[in-house]
């Protein structure tokens, strides 16, 4: 008989959180800590969503999205998780770039970028300062018609090399392009420039293990292997979720699943205002990714001078199409040393190569073509790495690839979207509680609310709103 993953579940909770990505986990934790009865339902057999890892024989472990996030993670994790977690966040100081336009190493903060822009790229200090101040001053209520490309053109006209320095890492971090609203760039770029790039020392498995412990201490009922099919609505308010043939009643739902799936499939068009449905249908998904995971044989090592994050490209110029093309020219290598990524006290080295990608390049391949394309991705990535670390191919014990299909499979994100939706998704996500009482969405949307920090912070914002709603309902009932 199949295992019942809902064994012992209650018939009713104050709030059901659908999905255990970083936004879902954070919402569940805050609401549990506030004393609400919380049920967390995750369709996968692991918690974490895209914040995940996998193991391979030979003592190898690979992280999928642990490459770098802004300093703000320390504060968010300390406040909304625990000191144990925030104390493990450390800076990555060795960020490298190599492309036909320039090669350099940086600590990736405002001070060092100012030095580079003035000394290496010949810009006036006043122009650089004005650019940084403009990016820093951007906020959600700003004019949204200026694109990132126009912003760059204003400060650094016709300098594709500068655009590449400023934009390549952000495109990699949140899938934004030169055509997206400039605020999506300004907010994320300024977060990084504040104090550089940070990582969780200990690996994603350690982080998620500690988060699970914290959730349990806040009495969150956690259930894996539990895909939610439907959200029931009665008199314009959420009343229950349907999962594994059961109906679990609740006063509020926070969905961390894909925004479009939440609105169009789990709630359903027939329950919603026509305009809102149309607005949701118009939300564009962000791009997906490919990755190649490479582990070194036991006893082999890589020198730490290889860097922590290495942005490489063979494309002569920077543009959105070549970043996404299946004919890969850009690869970001993350190097994991035993210091930054310990695994059961074993001295292991791993490298993960990541590239933004289009779903359409992978979606319709036959199984045979798909396997061939994956093998080609591994081989061409090893060739690219050889250029920087001669002989690395012979040191590698295991290499394999993930594609947009892999991301779709494990997270159920439509089109394997790595970074949620384009900007218009934010308005739909924010408007959801006005459409259906007690119905909230927290997860990667609008470019800004994606990435580890964006997802956690969005989880914080939404859980505070849920808390207010539940608390006001309870006091009204007294
Ligand atoms: C290759 C790659 C590299 C990345 N690198 C970085 C990086 O270096 N730095 C950074 O900050 N960010 C990075 N990101 C982005 C970051 O990982 C994500 O933005 C963030 O983890 C998303 O969190 P989320 O809360 O939106 O939810 P997600 O992680 O998208 O999780 C959603 C969860 O909902 C669950 N779910 C879906 N449908 C259902 C259902 N019906 N019932 C129950 N559960 C359901 C899914 O299984 C999943 O667990 C990267 C992403 C990718 C793909």
Q: Per-domain residue ranges for the chain?
A: 12-45+224-284+419-477, 53-91+287-411, 109-190
C-alpha of residue 10 to centroid of ligand 1, in Å: 27
Stretch (H or E) spanning 136: helix 125-137
Sequence-distant (6+) residues with CB within 8 A of 7 are none
The pLDDT value recorded for residue 344 is 66
- Phi, psi dihedrals of residue 384, rounded to the nearest 5°: -65, -40
Q: How far apart are CA 121 and CA 130, in angstroms?
A: 16
Distances (CA, A) of 233 to 96, 268, 329, 437, 439: 51, 10, 48, 9, 9
Cβ of residue 403 lying under 6 Å from some atom of ligand 1? no
C-alpha of residue 404 to centroid of ligand 1, in Å: 13
Q: Which atom of ligand 1 is nearest to the CA of 458?
A: 25
The pLDDT value recorded for residue 450 is 87
Sequence-distant (6+) residues with CB within 8 A of 164 are 99, 101, 102, 313, 317, 318
Written out in words, the top-level CATH class of the domain with range 12-45+224-284+419-477 is: alpha beta
The pLDDT value recorded for residue 478 is 61
**315-328 tens-digit pLDDT:** 999 988 888 888 89
Cβ of residue 451 lying under 6 Å from some atom of ligand 1? yes
Q: Which atom of ligand 1 is nearest to the CA of 44?
A: 47
Nearest partner of 49 among 354, 446, 451, judged by Cα = 451
The pLDDT value recorded for residue 342 is 75
Cβ of residue 255 lying under 6 Å from some atom of ligand 1? no
What is the best residue among 20, 50, 336, 358 to mutate for testing ligand 1's pocket, by most ligand atoms within 8 Å of CB? Answer: 50
C-alpha of residue 454 to centroid of ligand 1, in Å: 11
Cβ of residue 425 lying under 6 Å from some atom of ligand 1? no
The pLDDT value recorded for residue 110 is 97
No. of H helices and E strands in the chain?
18, 19
Sequence-distant (6+) residues with CB within 8 A of 16 are 38, 39, 40, 41, 228, 241, 248, 250, 252, 253, 254
The pLDDT value recorded for residue 239 is 98
Domains 12-45+224-284+419-477 and 53-91+287-411 share a fold: no
Residue numbers of the chain with a pLDDT score lower than 50:
none
**406-419 tens-digit pLDDT:** 999 999 999 999 99
Q: How far apart are CA 29 and CA 40, in angstroms?
A: 10
What is the best residue among 108, 188, 256 to mutate for testing ligand 1's pocket, by most ligand atoms within 8 Å of CB? Answer: 256
C-alpha of residue 51 to centroid of ligand 1, in Å: 6
C-alpha of residue 49 to centroid of ligand 1, in Å: 4
C-alpha of residue 418 to centroid of ligand 1, in Å: 7
Look at the domain 53-91+287-411 and name its fold: Polyamine Oxidase; Chain A, domain 2 (3.90.660)
What is the best residue among 39, 49, 310 to mutate for testing ligand 1's pocket, by most ligand atoms within 8 Å of CB? Answer: 49
Q: Which atom of ligand 1 is nearest to the CA of 452?
A: 11
Strands 237-243, 228-234: pairing kind: antiparallel
The answer to whether 61 and 203 are in contact (CB under 8 A) is: yes
Q: Which atom of ligand 1 is nearest to the CA of 289?
A: 1
The pLDDT value recorded for residue 185 is 93
Q: What strand order describes the sheet that includes 396-402?
A: 102-106, 95-99, 309-313, 330-336, 350-357, 288-296, 396-402
Beta pairing partners, 15: 38, 252
């Amino acid at each position: 008989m199949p295992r019942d993953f809902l064994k012992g579940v209650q018939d009713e909770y104050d709030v059901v959180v659908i999905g255990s990505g970083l936004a879902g986990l954070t919402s569940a934790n805050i609401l549990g800590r506030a004393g609400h009865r919380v049920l967390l339902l995750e369709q996968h057999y692991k918690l974490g969503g895209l914040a995940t890892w996998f193991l391979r024989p030979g003592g190898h472990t690979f992280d999928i999205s642990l490459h770098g996030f802004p300093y703000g993670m320390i504060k968010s994790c300390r406040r909304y998780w625990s000191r144990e977690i925030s104390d493990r966040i450390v800076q990555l100081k060795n960020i490298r770039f190599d492309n036909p336009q320039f090669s350099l190493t940086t600590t990736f903060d405002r001070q060092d970028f100012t030095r580079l822009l003035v000394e290496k790229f010949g810009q006036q200090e006043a122009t650089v300062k004005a650019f940084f101040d403009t990016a820093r001053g951007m906020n959600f209520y700003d004019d949204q018609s200026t694109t990132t490309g126009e912003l760059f053109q204003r400060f650094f006209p016709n300098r594709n090399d500068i655009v590449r320095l400023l934009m390549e890492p952000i495109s990699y971090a949140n899938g934004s392009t030169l055509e997206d609203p400039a605020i999506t760039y300004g907010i994320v770029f300024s977060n990084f420039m504040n104090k550089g790039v940070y990582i969780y020392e200990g690996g994603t498995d350690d982080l998620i293990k500690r988060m699970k412990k914290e959730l349990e201490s806040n009495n969150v009922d956690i259930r894996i292997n539990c895909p939610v099919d439907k959200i029931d609505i009665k008199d314009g308010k959420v009343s229950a979720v349907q999962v594994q043939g059961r109906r679990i009643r609740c006063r509020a739902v926070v969905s961390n699943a894909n925004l479009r799936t939440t609105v169009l499939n789990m709630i359903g068009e027939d329950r919603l205002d026509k305009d809102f449905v149309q607005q949701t249908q118009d939300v564009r998904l962000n791009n997906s990714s490919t990755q190649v995971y490479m582990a070194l044989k036991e006893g082999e090592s890589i020198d730490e001078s290889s860097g922590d994050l290495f942005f490489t490209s063979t494309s002569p110029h920077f543009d959105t199409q070549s970043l996404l093309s299946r004919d890969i020219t850009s690869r970001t290598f993350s190097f994991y040393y035993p210091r930054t990524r310990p695994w059961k006290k074993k001295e292991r080295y791993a490298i993960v190569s990541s590239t933004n990608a289009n779903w359409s390049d992978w979606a319709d391949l036959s199984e045979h073509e798909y396997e061939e394309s994956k093998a080609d991705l591994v081989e061409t990535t090893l060739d690219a790495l050889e250029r920087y670390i001669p002989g690395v191919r012979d040191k590698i014990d295991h290499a394999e690839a993930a594609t947009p299909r892999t991301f779709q499979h494990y997270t159920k994100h439509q089109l394997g979207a790595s970074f949620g939706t384009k900007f218009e998704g934010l308005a739909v996500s924010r408007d959801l509680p006005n459409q259906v009482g007690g119905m909230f969405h927290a997860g990667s949307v609008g470019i800004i609310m994606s990435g580890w920090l964006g997802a956690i912070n969005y989880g914080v914002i939404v859980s505070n709103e849920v808390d207010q709603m539940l608390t006001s309902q309870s006091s009204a009932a007294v």
